[in-house]
Amino acid sequence: MKSEKWVEITAPTSDEAIILALARLGITREEAIIEMLDEGSPGFLGLGARDARVRVERRPAPSGEVVEPSPPASAAPEPPEPVVTETSVPTPAVVSQPEPLSLGQNAPNLRRPRPSVAQPAPRGGADWNPEQVEQVLTAVAEKMFAALDVQIETEWRKEERPTLWLSLRGKDADMLVGPRGQTLNAAQYLVRSVVRRQVNGNFNLMVDADGYRERHIQSLVNLAHKMADRAVASGRTVRLRSMPARERRIIHITLRQDARVQTRSVGSGRRRIVTIIPNRDS
């Protein structure tokens, strides 16, 4: 299948549109021709808002150089044609073993040398290697964010299921956050999708930039404790604002060990909220 030569991407901001386009094409800014079709507009008080739209094209290769897409990892390379000497006696060609395909084999080193990514672990089931997942994630991140001035850090954390955090810090890290974390959520979706094509298993992936998710999670934890105290003091159920599922989950987990209260989610869709109910004994 031929790789795409250009894409047009629409996103809330021009930076987000460019990042999504580069990630989709699998290239860096130096390898791209970026055309701003519409810078978008925030509107006035939310009225007349318009998304940004960009066109990103692969930069043509230098004259005389032909760039072809890499063959699939499972495909064996075709042996070179035999070399014929002046006596017309063909010399047997030497066929080298193919190198394992790695998303990060040509990516610049942003933090420290990383080993090449080996063949993916078996998909599905519990037979997966955490070290290999970390290697694949690092390779994907180095390729995807090569055009940005960021440092890459990975860390396994013990949560309800093993969670590998990818933390991006540096000069350009804050531009990956976007309004209310929208750009960061898009980047996380892309990273998860690419990694899951390489390895699979019972683990979760989180992408953070400039410590945004860390601060946001801590604010939700503080909110949970504060509202639990209010529910106990008043003896009445406290209803929180509507939240996405991942934020409601943080509230539930935070108050799970609080014997004074219990939590329930009520409502449906975007209006689903968390209620904090004081126990009678408290």
pTM (whole model) above 0.75: no
pLDDT band with cut points at 50, 70 and 90 for residue 239: very high
Collect all residues with Cβ–Cβ distance below 8 Å to 138 and sequence separation of at least 6: 104, 114, 152, 154
Q: What three-state secondary structure class fits 178?
A: coil
**Residue that is written with structure tokens 């990514």 in the block:** 117
> Residue 192: which of 163, 218, 226 has the closest Cα?
163
Q: How confident is the model at residue 249, as a pLDDT? A: 92
- The phi-psi region of residue 180 (left if phi > 0; otherwise alpha if psi is between -120 and 50; otherwise beta) is left
Q: What is the pLDDT of residue 120?
A: 40
| Ramachandran sector of residue 211 (left: φ over 0; alpha: ψ -120 to 50; beta: rest) | left
> Looking at residue 40, what is its pLDDT?
79
Residue 253, pLDDT above cutoff 70: yes
Provide the mean pLDDT of the chain: 77
Convert the pLDDT of each residue in 209-231 to its tens digit: 999 999 999 999 999 999 999 99
For residue 269, the 8-state DSSP code is: G
pLDDT of residue 1: 43
Average pLDDT over residues 137-152: 90
pLDDT score recorded for residue 158 = 84
What tens digit of pLDDT does each residue of 35-61 get? 988 887 765 544 566 788 889 998 886
pLDDT for residue 139: 92
pLDDT of the residue at 264: 94
Instruction: State pLDDT tens for residues 13-42.
Output: 788 788 888 888 777 888 889 898 888 776
Place 148 in a pLDDT band, splitting at 50, 70 and 90.
confident
| Sign of torsion over alpha carbons 160, 162, 168, 169 | positive
pLDDT(118) > 50? no
| Mean predicted confidence (pLDDT) in 249-261 | 94
